[in-house]
Structure 1
Amino acid sequence: MDRVRLLVLLTVFVDILGLGVVIPVLPFYVERFSNSPQAVTTLIAVYAAASFLSAPLIGVLSDKYGRRPALIGSILSTSLGWFIFASGKSLLVLYVGRIIDGLAAGNLPVAQAAITDTVKDEKERGQVLGYVGAIFGIGFIIGPAIGGALGHLSVTLPFWFVGALAAVNAVLAYFFLPETRKQQEAHTHPISLNPFSPMKRAIQQKDMCSNYLAWGMFGLAVASTQSVYALFLNVAFGWEEFMVGLLFMATGIVLAVNQVFAMRNFWLKKFTEPKLELWMTAAFAFGYVLIGVASFPLFIVGAILTTFGQSVLRVVMNSQMIAKSNPTRRGEVMGISASIVSLTAAIAPLFAGWLFDLRPSLPFFAAAVFLGIGFFILYSAQKTLPTTLDPRQPVVSEI
């Protein structure tokens, strides 16, 4: 692997490591200020709403001015947001911290655009996006273990740690991360500061509507369960911070093995990306049904299915969106992708908390329904659209 890709992946790794640190302890930290599951889900929704507005614009800025400055600015915002969050004495301060982080939430989509700037064909595109997915897995192997250990020392320590980690990441990116966007692929159109302009263009891109809709269903499914996962494990099996951290670590191991070895040598070798989109969506939905049953043996099977399903879908769904995008708008498309996930993450936790109050398993059954809708969207679209796409020959018009 070349130096540029390694540096981009290192930047992603440090960012994901921080996320892995806070996920197991976040609900328990928020419970210091409120005992309601709605407090946790609303906090996640506030961040998601802010990032929904900012991600496409940051993607556009990365297309015009380069991936490097956009990425560094986004990482610095993450650092500041976590520092404020860690110092919070009330829910209001926690909201402020997450909003600041969300208003420059471009780390992952800009990194995805940066690393796909270097690809030559479809297989290589899926491979490098698989590496990004593997970084997720490795981050979730190490991060939750660190978070659980730090959380035992102090409930605020994990958040101070990830704030400092992000600050170090920004410094490393400033000194060592090169620019990946080619000058001939620079965005030459006027930039609107209206955060809804990229979304308007997304709606006008008819060939990509099915991709965006299916990706939205994916986002709703993940957000419906992620915000209450730790609480569900506590209610269903009596697990607390340490056991939740171990589960996330085990999930990360499976995800990393899948992304590093199976993505290139099995999934992308044996199946086309559209077929993987379709059938992994079905497997993902079935996994959530098994988790919702709240029987431990079925939960293990469901956790494995959802881990494989989510890790493969994150690669192939984004890869297909990149394949259809014009190179001058690659950052924008990845920003729109992130914005869709943010929108679903702003909406889903609100009703997920309500569903959880009714019955802890209901958010998981709702997630299965969302994925079922996504399956039929993809199935219908694949009857009429090409099955493979060259990343250098986008099929959408330049709007």
Structure 2
Amino acid sequence: MPVESPAAATPARRAAFIFIFVTVALDILAFGIVIPVLPRLIREMSGGDFVSAADWVGIISTVYAVVQFFSTPVLGALSDRYGRRPVILLSNLGLGLDFILLAVVNSLPWFIVARIVSGMTAASFSCANAYIADVTPADRRAETFGKLGAAFGIGFVVGPALGGMLGEIDIRLPFWVAAGLALANFCYGWFVLPESLPPERRTPTLDWSHVKPFGGLQRLRRYPQVFGLAVVVFLSSLAHYVLNTTFVLYADYRYDWGPRAVGYTLGLVGVCNGIVQALLVGKFVRRFGERRMLYAGLAFGAIGFAWQGLAPTGWLSLIAIPMLALWGVANPAVQALMTRQVDPHEQGRLQGAVAGLASLAGIFGPGLYTQTFAWGISPNNPWHVPGAAFLLAALLLVVAIVMTMRALAHATVPATSTES
């Protein structure tokens, strides 16, 4: 097989990255649009009570995570066997159908059906990470993962702010716009997105023993450093679910924020995340190394969540945003550390296993945080602690720091690492 010259490889990698960057940005934009209105719509359909709304948000989010947990390993293995492109297209199509259902349903059980559709096909982010691993040298992956994270920032800058404004017009309108974006992304991928995994690097057969939901987690044991870091990924993912499941309800309850205020706040979150991911991750990793950035990111996240949970006013709560944005340096660092430990032809299964961990966290996270939030505001609770869910997330990241110390205590960093 002819070897591609570095001069030819660099433009090809740049073009491939641009394609996948646009794909992820459109997906996140679609997600971001519905964030400010989804919990409020659930609260309206559940009678307007915050405690009841928290229960339904927990149920719907848990069902989605369970379905995603069982589906993601299958999609990861399919991407290793047939390529990344068809799996990304399937994910975008499922996301579009999910938003259409959410726009038209009038009962909470139908919300669950819509989430099942999305959970069965939700693999665009794990496939995007595998795509980047396909086309990027090992010593550049942390920086590239960080740049890909900027797509999340762009989506969260525009998406929630737009969703908040659309939600003020009609609470269903953001779902229609999100559906249009997801289906436009499907068309973009169909006509533009190239395949990143050549046939000679694909797995020769589809071994169904490798697509069991817990199979990817079991395979991580073959790589002791990866397995230890996988625990950190799980704890970090579990902590992140406090934002997905309770932030909108929390801000509405404690600060009396409507869709527009929540949308603008999440837009600010996106700006800060974009700055960190696009401008700081690569520089920080080159200067301080992946290990130190992992520790620093987790520490900033713990401080940010604690601040959010204790802030008595909305203005004071905004101070948590830059701290939580700096938490974003942890994910590219841990991704890069893990991808170094597996063979190139197993990158898809690694990312599938990592996504499975996030899905596993999603099984426990929604109920954990919505019930903690409900407990904190319950009139039967002798302590009124509306920020209890965020304080719990901070504690989980402290535990993640301890687990990182254990995972990296005896690890050997490859020579290509930028560790100082």
- 1:269 is aligned to 286
Match of 1:367 among 393, 403, 419: 393
Q: Structure 1 residues 389, 231: CA separation in 2 closer, same or farther (over 3 Å shift)?
A: farther
2:194 to 178, 182, 190: 178
| Equivalence for 1:258 | 276
Question: What is residue 155 of structure 1 aligned with on the other side?
Answer: 171
Find the counterpart in structure 2 of residue 206 from structure 1: 224
Hey, what does 1:216 align to over in structure 2? 234
Query: TM-score, normalised to structure 1's length?
Result: 0.93
Distance 1:300 1:171 in 2: 37
Asked whether the 8 Å contact 1:141–1:252 carries over to 2, the reply is yes
Q: Deviations over 1:8-50 (max 9, x none)?
A: 1111111010011111111111112213111112211111111
After superposition, the Cα gap between the structure-2 partners of 1:256 and 1:204, relative to the gap in structure 1 and judged at 3 Å, is: same
After TM superposition, list the pairs within 5 Å mapping 1:84-233 onto structure 2. Answer: 84-122=101-139, 124-192=140-208, 194-233=212-251
The partner residue of 1:351 within 361, 368, 379 is 368
- Range that drifts further, 317-326 or 247-256: 317-326
Tell me the amino acid that sits aligned with residue 242 of structure 2: S
Task: Return the alpha-carbon distance in structure 1 between the equivalents of residues 162 and 56 of structure 2.
Answer: 24
* Corresponding letter in the other structure for 1:65: Y
Map Cα deviations across residues 116-148 of structure 1 (whole Å, 9 max, x no partner): 2111232x2112111111000011111011111
1:203, distance to aligned residue in structure 2 (A): 4.1
C-alpha distance in structure 2 between counterparts of 1:113 and 1:390, whole Å: 20
In structure 1, give the amino acid aligned to 2:225. D
Alignment correspondent of 1:394: none
Which runs of 5 or more residues in structure 1 are unaligned? 392-399
Query: What CA deviation, in whole Å up to 9, does each residue of 1:59-109 have, x standing for no partner?
Result: 111111100111111111111111112211111111000111001110101
Q: Does 1:382 align with 2:401?
A: no
The residue that corresponds to 1:304 in the other structure is 322
SS at match of 1:178: coil
The answer (yes or no) to whether the contact 1:230–1:244 under 8 Å persists in 2 is: yes
Aligned length: 388
Cross-structure match for 1:56: 73
Structure 1 residues 327-374: Cα deviation after superposition (integer angstroms, max 9, x where no partner): 111111111111111111121110211111121211111111111111
Q: Pairwise mapping of residues 235-254 of structure 1 onto structure 2 (< 5 A)?
A: 235-254=253-272
Please tell me the root mean square deviation across aligned C-alpha atoms, in Å. Answer: 1.7
Instruction: State whether residues 57 and 332 of structure 1, in contact with CA within 8 Å, keep that contact through their aligned partners in structure 2.
Output: no
What one-letter code is carried by the residue in structure 1 that aligns with 2:397?
L
Alignment check: 8 A CA contact 1:274 1:387 kept: no
Q: Which has the higher Rg, Structure 1 or Structure 2?
A: 2
2:44 partner SS: coil
% identical equivalent positions: 28
Q: Which amino acid aligns with 2:233?
A: W
- The offset of 1:194, in angstroms, is 3.5
Amino acid at match of 2:352: G
In the TM superposition, what is the alpha-carbon distance from 1:390 to its structure 2 partner?
4.8
Offset of residue 298 of structure 1: 4.9
| CA spacing shift, 1:164–1:207, aligned 2, 3 Å | same
In structure 2, the residue matched to 1:397 is none
